[in-house]
Amino acid sequence: MAVELMKGNVALAEAAICAGVQAYFGYPITPQTELLEHMAKRMPELGRAFVQAESEVAAINMVYGAACAGVRAMTSSSSPGISLMQEGFSYIAASEVPCVVVDVMRGGPGLGNIQPSQSDYFQLTRSAGHGDYHAIALAPASVQEAIDLMGLAFDLADKYRHLVFVVADGLIGQMMEPAELPPMQPITRRHDDWALTGADGRAPHVITSLQLNAPDLEALNQRLQAKLRIIHDTEQRSTEMLTDDAQLVVVGFGTAGRIAQTAVQQARREGMKVGLFRPITLWPFPEKRLSALADQVSAFLVVEMNTGQMIEDVRLAAGGQVPVTFYGRTGGVVPVPEEIYDAIRDLYRKLQSRPARE
Amino acid sequence: MTISAVEEKVVYQRPESLSDVPTHYCPGCTHGIAHRLVAEVLDELGVRERTIGIAPVGCSVFAYKYFNVDSAVAAHGRAPAMATGIKRVLPDRVVFTYQGDGDLAAIGLAEIVHAATRGENITTIFINNAIYGMTGGQMAPTTLPGQHTTSSPGGRDIEITGFPVRMAELLAGLTGTAYVARRSLHNVKEINRAKKAIRTAFETQLAGLGFAMVELLSSCPTNWHLSPPEALQWIEDYMVPYYPLSDYKVIEPVQDLMKR
């Protein structure tokens, strides 16, 4: 495949098609609608399933159905629509069927606005639906990374029979960048050992999240947690820049991390020992690497397009070893590199005026 | 004297599409009859091995234990959306939902209306017993005016709660539906008529003609506080007049099916 100029939402859709998605169900909502529109054209062309659902509630339950049939299935939405899908997320996680959900986040709470935001961090990493579990959440910072993570999302969903979010924001969804798609994967039958395909020559398969007997439900939860522990231990992903000798590390995911990169480079030109840490998995949060960095640096500066959500995970990873400070814009306001640079410079000066860390 | 062997013939047995397990349904509840009719039809059509059933939330949440087919349990009201997802990726399978009145006519109204209007090629068995059974007898969208329930203790007051929903009539009004009928399970004659309708509903799907639903008036002696025979009589006396038994939508190709 050649490098071409692609809009983020279209790239996400086409990357899912390349990854072998066989069923897409969705409902229009800005700023992700181009994803649905691209699927409306492409999926029927390829003989794959596309339904514009009557609501996000219906869309996620259609995904649940198709996923129960053992095919790669997905939906996409934006923050208010993701709130409506919470019911389905919980059932999908409980019954351990794989599926992928794209959230192109916008400003909230409520109807909010249609500008880029990262205010769904809690919603996606803490409790994507009722119950006692975490979903996997992958956060790209460019159109190319959105494409790459889309393929990974389907692989992780299948590998762990779990719900995987691709967490973008309105900026990544709407912007155009040069990017390259992967080769088209062949469609293969999956999950013959549990999928609902008809009890022909075998005992019936049943997919349910219902366990009325408390010890049975506890056992199901323990099994889920054992799986999540493996994911937690093996799937943490992050990227970093200029951290080797950094005294101050800026932590930001997705678009905020990308804007912070420019600010960090500016600070380096000014002679400040500043680095950037960008989580790619929001859950599992890349705490192992961040915890190691906490042994080295004097402080973290968390930058988010919300009022401070991921900062809780950074604090947990830092374990009280170093100060964790915050700079954020919210409500659809996208920070410019200069204001992040100012926050870096102010914190860095404060650190310089303190006695050096032993 | 020689005794000739007595010729024995099986005249009645459990359909293969029903699992050999006791159900949890209350004595006198007609869910068991509805299950058996669906299972007999699946057997007769020879489609058990390629059938996928979707159970609802409500009294029939355990339907997956009783139907000997691949099954899933949907979230409350979402069975038609789940069935849509399955049928769209496995169009050669037989997909049906089995839903109660709270599930289908209250919380799942959007899902059933839109599955029907899309003409999804699925079959829905709708059990209307005018009450929320599993949660202990609350007012359903199908509860009759004046009917006593735990959440309409003085009898359903239409001034406050509005009117019961007639689902068969509502769905029949949608262009997307192929076959919509209401039957009852209160006596043998009606049970036999119900089975024919269920068969037509599945044949509609097999012929690829689109959405089919059979609404079945069903008894709930426990929450109606009636004996099983009184409950059957209550269906005839009170439910049938409000919910007339009829074919509400039979598109022409389905009429041809029924003639065969």
B178: domain CATH number is: 3.40.50.970
The 10s digit of each residue's pLDDT in A257-284 is 999 999 999 999 999 999 999 999 999 9
Residue B68 near chain A (CB below 8 Å): yes
* pLDDT for the residue B74: 98
The number of domains in chain B is 1
The 10s digit of each residue's pLDDT in B128-178 is 999 999 999 999 999 999 999 999 999 999 999 999 999 999 999 999 999
Which of B52, B75, B110 is closest, CB to CB, to A91? B75
* pLDDT for the residue A189: 76
The pLDDT-based confidence of A355 (bands split at 50, 70, 90) is low
Quote the minimal CA–CA distance from A145 to chain B in Å.
29
Predicted ipTM? 0.96
Closest CA to B176 of B201, B209, B203: B209
| Encoded tokens for B99 | 């839903």
Domain A238-353's class?
alpha beta
* Residues of chain B above pLDDT 70, percent: 99
Q: Is position B13 within any domain?
A: no
Residue B6 buriedness (CB in 10 A; 0-12 / 13-18 / 19+)? exposed
Instruction: Calculate mean pLDDT across residues A165-178.
Output: 97
Q: CA torsion angle for B194, B195, B199, B201 (degrees, to 10)?
A: 20
Interface of B with A in 26-55 (CB under 8 A): 48-52, 54-55
Residue A46 near chain B (CB below 8 Å): no
The 10s digit of each residue's pLDDT in B186-235 is 999 999 999 999 999 999 999 999 999 999 999 999 999 999 999 999 99
B-chain CB neighbours of A87 within 8 Å are 75, 78
Average pLDDT, chain A: 96
Instruction: Calculate mean pLDDT across residues A306-317.
Output: 98
Q: Is position B55 within any domain?
A: yes
* pLDDT for the residue B94: 98
- Does residue B1 register a pLDDT over 70? no
Which residues pair with residue A276 across a beta bridge? Answer: A241, A250
- Does residue A357 register a pLDDT over 70? no
Instruction: Calculate mean pLDDT across residues A301-316.
Output: 98
CATH code, residues A3-234: 3.40.50.970
Which of A62, A71, A204 is closest, CB to CB, to B84? A62
Instruction: Calculate mean pLDDT across residues A327-347.
Output: 98
Residue B71 near chain A (CB below 8 Å): yes
Q: Is position B20 within any domain?
A: no
Residue B59 near chain A (CB below 8 Å): no
* pLDDT for the residue B6: 83
Contact criterion met (CB below 8 Å) for A35 and A76? yes
Instruction: Calculate mean pLDDT across residues A237-249.
Output: 98
Residue B81 near chain A (CB below 8 Å): yes
Determine, for residues A201 and B49 on separate chains, whether the beta-carbon distance falls below 8 Å: yes
- Does residue A358 register a pLDDT over 60? no
Domain extent for B124:
31-259
- Does residue A236 register a pLDDT over 80? yes
Contact criterion met (CB below 8 Å) for A171 and A188? no
- Strand-pair category, A176-180 with A3-7: antiparallel
The 10s digit of each residue's pLDDT in A17-65 is 999 999 999 999 999 999 999 999 999 999 999 999 999 999 999 999 9
The pLDDT-based confidence of B7 (bands split at 50, 70, 90) is confident
The pLDDT-based confidence of A356 (bands split at 50, 70, 90) is low
Determine, for residues A196 and B64 on separate chains, whether the beta-carbon distance falls below 8 Å: no
The 10s digit of each residue's pLDDT in B61-93 is 999 999 999 999 999 999 999 999 999 999 999
Contact criterion met (CB below 8 Å) for B80 and B97? yes
Determine, for residues A197 and B90 on separate chains, whether the beta-carbon distance falls below 8 Å: yes
